[in-house]
Amino acid sequence: MGKDAVNINVHDLNTQNWTNGYTTIQKTDTGKWKSTEILVPQGEKGYTELGIHAFSDDFIISKIDATPYQSQTSAAVRYTNSTAILNMNLTDTTSPSTLMVYLPKLNESTKIQVNATSYGKQVGIEVFEGIIQPWETSVWWTRHRLAVRSPDSIVTGVTDPTLVWQTKTSGYYTIVVVLRQYWSEDARIDLAVSMEAQGNSTATK
């Protein structure tokens, strides 16, 4: 009931800070139960604490199901100060075709390096603020702020691009590898994602 928004906030158990507006549920006032799916960030202590906040109208939740998220076309990197090696395919279920990689919550001044082997495909690497949810199969760039992109990412793309970047603010980020040509079933990508907090060395996972 009601047409206002319900915010899903995430509690950082290490810093005791909240990420407000992690994602939003928009009520439609239909008087019927609606379902929404939310990709929840991984808690380092084995669980994630959420805060559900309504602005003006009360809300009722029927139930919450927590199940592991499995995808052949997206992946999550769990730890900072690590290097993750991913061997995956780009998907044609998004427009444009992509591979999405979800990063853990990063502190300010975390160095990110992404190396892609694209097997002759023209691709670009982009990093967006926040977690791009699975239902955001297009125009996610209108809902998430672009943090950085590799050279020529938005025009033609390149083969085997590299991106090196240092965060300016703490938060959640999503790496998006974008295909800049027609999709085919052999659109394979090998990705190495390294994260190093300032003043620490990088360990290989």
pLDDT number for residue 94: 93
Task: Please give the Cα distance from 133 to 100 (Å, whole number).
Answer: 10
What is this structure's pTM? 0.83
Residues with pLDDT less than 50, the chain? 200-205
How far the first Cα of the chain sits from its last, in Å, is 46
Distance CA 165, CA 111 (A): 6
Q: What per-residue confidence (pLDDT) applies to 186? A: 82
CA angle, corner 64, sides to 62 and 65, nearest 5? 135
Integer Cα distance of 15 and 17 in angstroms: 5
Q: Is 74 left (phi over 0), alpha (psi -120 to 50) or beta?
A: beta
**Per-residue confidence (pLDDT) for residue 194, from 0 to 100:** 93
pLDDT at 156: 84
Give pLDDT, residue 4: 87
Six-digit token string for 113 = 């390096």
Helix, strand or coil for residue 33? coil
Are 124 and 189 in contact by the 8 Å Cβ rule? The answer is no
Fold that domain 74-204 belongs to in CATH: Jelly Rolls (2.60.120)
What pLDDT does 202 receive?
41
CATH 2.60.120.380 maps onto the chain at 74-204
Extract the tokens encoding 200: 């620490």
Q: How many CB atoms lie within 10 A of CB 101?
A: 22
